Amino acid sequence: MKNKITVIVRNYNDYCFHVKQFETFEEAKNYLIDNCGNGIIIIGTEYHIIN
């Protein structure tokens, strides 16, 4: 089973985070750059977000 690549992007305006998943690292990186470039890329790890 192929790992999904998860991007967590911080929004500059309101400090909210949004999460999106991709198939390839390149897609994930480009998405992050297009969305202000401030965030985290996680590859194939289980994660939990608590607010």
pLDDT tens track for 32-42: 888 776 788 88
pLDDT for the residue numbered 47: 63
Cα 45 to Cα 35: distance, rounded to the nearest angstrom:
22
Cα 4 to Cα 20: distance, rounded to the nearest angstrom:
10
pTM above 0.75, yes or no: no
Specify if 15 maps to a domain: yes
Q: pLDDT for 12-34, tens place per residue?
A: 776 778 889 999 989 988 988 88
Specify if 50 maps to a domain: no
Domain count, the chain: 1
pLDDT for the residue numbered 26: 92
Specify if 51 maps to a domain: no
Cα 32 to Cα 26: distance, rounded to the nearest angstrom:
10
Specify if 10 maps to a domain: yes
- Evaluated on CA atoms 31, 37, 43, 47, the torsion sign reads negative
**Quick check: 31 and 19 in contact, CB under 8 A?**
no
Specify if 49 maps to a domain: no
